[in-house]
Structure 1
């Protein structure tokens, strides 16, 4: 039962609602009213019946519990608004702040035994969301640093409590920043092997693994950074994908060139799910912003955009490759860029890789991202390892 309401609020300053590492509103720590406020702030408006069912599922007078909880919050200066059955709240909250710093868990230590299963599931979703947001903020911070400080922040990001299992995009961001052969690299590499099979374990530079991890997510992966390093790493990633059964095509796009006609012809030449297109753009090309909209017309094709300036809308899809020529041996076979036409399509040559033939039954090899990369290991001049077998 809720305690009796105070007759006044001594301090007219309304504190922030703290939900990370606990649950409190200044000195006020009564759980149910604060859970109600948390739900209204993060979820949005809800009816009294919904709030009663979520937070007081076993009460004989759930609507009265909602009324008393709202009175408690109003007495403490919380902006509660009602319109008939609908209730909403406007109040500052730590998880909605633009600056995420706490590594604690959302509603950590808060007793949830008396709430509904639906509300408990909502709390778990919010925990995952906050942890992922914190991890993303730390990854962005790591990218702004270098050397030992970058690795320290990366470790913080990797160890965020409650973070969801990393997807390909998250692993790609870690791999693009970590030091080759470091303990963090080995930890992220293990997760990548667990996600997509053992094809990546110990055979490639972390940035090549980053490209492959980002490729697993599908859609558009944008690569920026040192041109020479990008050429080597992308060549290696292309060889791995080609050896796993993908048809990898390359499109060189000079400034001002149009993609529509070329992509229409190219994407009609092979099944979309088995096609990867590497698009090379020129630094400073003002058309980079429109490029994403153009590529979005082919949602089932994997695109790797190399070079240029990634637009702000591609920030979460972009990986930056630093200049570090000593980190990886040079490719044994030179790759020559096509010249002449404004936009020329060339079949990417495989280097030290053999295509995997169809099974004896005549069925095509598996085409899903995970299945293709589980089918075997590939190597190129910069990635020593066994070739794909038959």
Structure 2
């Protein structure tokens, strides 16, 4: 892994840890602040709202700034948000701090993806994005369980102080390892950046992200009751199984990056089709403990195979503003989180059974395939009408010193 990508992965690890650790700390936070578990759950929503709001706004506001400066500033905001979370005296201050922590999330991954592709040879762009996202998936294996353990033994505030320390390490890594990358040449300003998001192919790419990852979260949001009520696991066994999901996500992320460099569209279609099959098989796989464990592993693998190709496709379709488009894709991921959980909840509330959220997810994955197919048809039509083949992402948006490219 190039050292510059390692710096991005460290930042991604910290962001992934703080995003998901709150779910395991809800009982501790609720007890300490004397609020109910549902009220504490709003802290998860506050972070997600910060991501959705901050991703496009911060990416647009910093579009003409040097990339390394932007990444360091975003990570500084991340450190501040987590430090304020640790010091929050009550629920309201903690809600505000969690919202602040979420603001830099999408823009960091968006700008980071552009920097990562600029540091790679043309045939390794998807792989470079997957290496950055490696920090996020590894956070589900090591960061989140460790953060939960720290919170349970030293208090939840210690967890957020620890995450702030990870952010500080990321800032030092970004300063030392990321080459001084200038922003794009000044031109259209904010209006030009936003104009790059108008074409239909951009919105179809974002729609594929929303539908595809909503499929994942429709099932994953309710994975614990599936494992306990359907597969017969004890509650204490759920945490190791969630780490197994992280292993699958890491494998899928690396596999998707490697395959997408050879055939981006085929990798996307294959990943979505695999997700349909895995989710549709959940009612059967959840009948025994060994097959349920396999289902959790396969779910992470199938879902995250699509991560790198989706990120690259959005950047390619909005090549005039890749940072803004890439950040908007991160907002789409979080919309998928909320929408998928809501859809899976509808299936449960309707009385369709414990594994019904997975079937709702399979339907959403089919929708994702349909949107991806529509996007492919639009591209083919543009070529037929003389619009030219869809261009690959141009590395010139992120010039990199020659010695950094093939390390």
- TM normalised by structure 1 equals 0.21
Higher helix share: 2
Q: Looking at CA atoms only, which structure, 1 or 2, has the larger radius of gyration?
A: 1
Higher strand share: 1
